[in-house]
Amino acid sequence: MSVGLTLTIIILIFVLVTVGKGIRLVPQGEEWIVERLGKYQCTLRPGLNFLIPYLDRVAYKLITKDIILDVQEQEVITRDNAVILTNAIAFIKVTDPVKAVYGVTDFSEAIRNLITTTLRAIVGEMELDEALSSRDKIKARLRESIADESIDWGLTVKSVEIQDIKPSPSMQRAMEMQAAAERERKAMVTRSEGAKQSAILEAEARLEAARRDANAQVTLAEASAESIRRVTAALGTEPGPMLYLLGEKYIASVQKLAASDNAKIVLLPADLQETLGGLLGKGARVVQ
């Protein structure tokens, strides 16, 4: 009885194990690669699947949902020998599980290395300013460059995004120094332009002032000439009125000198007698 019971239990366990090996339940979002005696046999789709126990085995389990691959940061040298740091992120999808497992050893690592080398080549053809401002262009070229290789590996590259692209710390310091020098140059140019405009305006002001002074002197000279002509016409040939006018000028000038607070000495003209004679009349006599 004990031997028969033991044999029954062994057979029951063998049947359960066999059934367990022959039934596979594949979850949604995955596909499994089955090999029979070491050779590819079939691909199990999501749901209930049956295998031949002990002959078939599940060799690979692939995720058919979008896979996110993070490409680590790397240093890239641009065409003008500037060093920049850049990294990326790729969204891929397995469309052919057989090619994905048998076409390349590790498709995730292969895509990551392909993006790294392609990104280095694309940025290396650009100058620093172009590379820093052309994310969309780099992304489009990157996706186009890796599309053919990814198809051969049973993959579809849905999108490649440039996470960050920036100068290296040493380049950032150099760019800051360059920007500071450029700002200082612009400030010097602005100050020079201001000084130039100020000098031009000052010279124009002096020129205008000189022109107006000359016009004023000409006007005064013309007025004096006209005054002299009118006085000459009014006096005629008689010297008396002229001497009278001249005497008035002398007296007014002496009064101004005497009225000054700082006046210590009063200067009298040498021909004062003749002037007074002109004021008093031609026959008058001045007592000294």
**Cα 167 from Cα 85, distance rounded (Å):** 6
User: How far, in Å, CA of 177 to CA of 247, rounded?
Assistant: 81
Of the candidates 114, 117, 129, which has an alpha carbon nearest to the alpha carbon of residue 84? 129
Q: What is the pTM of this model?
A: 0.56
DSSP state of 105: S
Of residues 176, 162, 175, 179, the one with CA closest to residue 76: 162
Q: How do the domains of the chain map onto residue ranges?
A: 19-63, 67-167, 179-235, 237-288
Domain 67-167 superfamily per CATH: Band 7 domain (3.30.479.30)
Other CB atoms within 10 Å distance of the CB of residue 193? 10
* Residue ranges in the chain modelled with pLDDT below 70: 1, 231, 234-250, 254, 257-288
Angstrom distance (rounded) from CA 151 to CA 121:
21
Query: What is the reported pLDDT for 1?
Result: 54
User: Which two tokens mark 58?
Assistant: 């599940």
What local confidence, expressed as pLDDT, does residue 83 receive? Answer: 86
Q: Please tell me the distance from the alpha carbon of residue 73 to that of residue 284, in angstroms, as a whole number.
A: 119
